[in-house]
Structure 1
Amino acid sequence: MAETKLSVFKKFADLNEAKEVAFILAEKGIEVQLADNSPALDITFSGNTLDNQIELKIPAEDFRKAKDLLFSELDIKIEEIDPDYYLLDFSTEELRDLLLKCDEWGEYDVLLARKILASKGEDTSDARMEEWKMQRLEELAKPEKIPFMWIVIGYLMCFLGGLLGVFIGYLIWHQQKTLPNGQKVYTYREYDRKQGRKMFWLGLAMLSIVTLYKLLIGPLYL
């Protein structure tokens, strides 16, 4: 039986919170996997930080089911919320932005923001939420632009031996990101991915030349 491929569903800064969510999903029959992927250094080109590095992975086809399950676990009454809770100080525009970017927030805050907006007479119907989700997906699916300096560094590394250039080129060429609905898309623009592909093959060529040189010419100088 083929092993199920898991995708990152949520990221957490707190391990206990991650375990709690994983337990809820596992109880409902969803395959889960927790991984601490805090990098020793940033291997992307977008200024990644060390926040939210506990990753909860589930099958991509279960993303919608998992989101619905987590929301169904919540029962929020505005009148019972601590009056000092920070969301109560959010403006209407800030609450709308939170719902638009609900993938960046926990289920509790999303549901509370929705209830607060509804209490103000704002449209937070399922249809409106779906509209925001589609808008967000379109925004997140847009490919990113690689800083020009990384292209220069990648090619430079190719000519200085190849190995690091191969790594950078492959990363630019093949790196993907997972959207909130579980869909995977390439991270970088087509133009940048073409540069990454060229970098990858150039790096391999230079690495082969350097290796052959060391094997055939190098011993003559020993």
Structure 2
Amino acid sequence: MYVDFQNFIIKEQAEEVAKILNDNDINVIVKEVKPNVDITFSNTHSLNYWIRIPKGQVKLAESILNKGTNSIKVPEGHYFLEFTDDELTEVVKNYYDWNKTDYQYARILLDERGIKYSEEKIAEFKNASLEELRAPENGKSSWIIAGFITAFMGGLLGVIMGWNYWTEIKTLPNGEKVHRFNAPTRQKGKLMMIIGLVVIVLAITGRILTL
């Protein structure tokens, strides 16, 4: 069984990591994923390239990539060279917000500056970063109000927006799937969809009865 392991915006970066894993006898699939149309206008984006690996090899793959920092050098002129210790630490803490090459550069530079983190601390950072990504979003009030108005007017857009708020799922970098929106937003979305459907059905019924 394959699971989503890491995601990238740039294809070449995904292929670079895929090659490292393949060279270490891990079967890799690079999957291109087109961004979803965001009907709820929440301004989030989907990354375009997912690396998928066998579920049982996730820890091995992470270990291989972490060890890879020993043979990597930060290129001259790289913008991380201008980062302060605190800024580089933020990169390390937010593992899933950066491509893996930059993440490795940040660790290397911190090591060179005498700031070293144990693997246990790195794991703690990653878990905290994942928890932030796992946290459900609160739908924007202005768009929820607009959705209800559209639903009461019998607009199909209100039904679609309600369905998205109620059911939309996001995939975390570790392959876990969770609801995108929090419970109150999802309940509003469900209600929005129901209202829209009821209004549409009543409108259609009214037209049929007047024929």
- How far off its partner does 1:162 sit? 4.2
- Please point out which of 52, 76, 83 is paired with 1:58: 52
| 1:174-205 deviation line (CA, Å, top 9, x unaligned) | 12222333222222121111111111222222
Q: Are 2:39 and 1:46 equivalent residues in the alignment?
A: no
Which residue of structure 2 aligns with residue 17 of structure 1?
13
What TM-score do the two structures reach when normalised by structure 1? Answer: 0.78
- Amino acid of the residue matched to residue 210 of structure 1? A
CA distance in 2, matches of 1:151, 1:108: 39
2:31–2:52 CA contact under 8 A, matched in 1: no
- How far off its partner does 1:149 sit? 0.8
- Amino acid of the residue matched to residue 165 of structure 1? G
CA distance in 2, matches of 1:181, 1:200: 31
1:9–1:63 CA contact under 8 A, matched in 2: no
What TM-score do the two structures reach when normalised by structure 2? Answer: 0.81
- Please point out which of 121, 124, 135 is paired with 1:128: 121
1:34–1:56 CA contact under 8 A, matched in 2: yes
- Please point out which of 187, 194, 202 is paired with 2:187: 194
- How far off its partner does 1:91 sit? 0.6
What SS is found at the alignment partner of 1:165?
helix
- Amino acid of the residue matched to residue 188 of structure 1? F
Which residue of structure 1 aligns with residue 76 of structure 2?
83
| 1:123-145 deviation line (CA, Å, top 9, x unaligned) | 32101101111221222222211
2:166–2:190 CA contact under 8 A, matched in 1: yes
Question: Percent identical across equivalent pairs?
Answer: 29
Structure 2 unmatched ranges of 5 or more: none
- How far off its partner does 1:77 sit? 4.6
CA, structure 1 residues 206+72, in 2 after alignment: closer, same or farther (shift >3 Å)?
farther
RMSD: 2.9
- How far off its partner does 1:166 sit? 1.7
- How far off its partner does 1:163 sit? 2.1
What SS is found at the alignment partner of 1:56?
strand
CA, structure 1 residues 160+36, in 2 after alignment: closer, same or farther (shift >3 Å)?
same
2:31–2:50 CA contact under 8 A, matched in 1: yes
- Amino acid of the residue matched to residue 29 of structure 2? V
- How far off its partner does 1:20 sit? 4.3
The number of residue pairs the alignment matches comes to 209
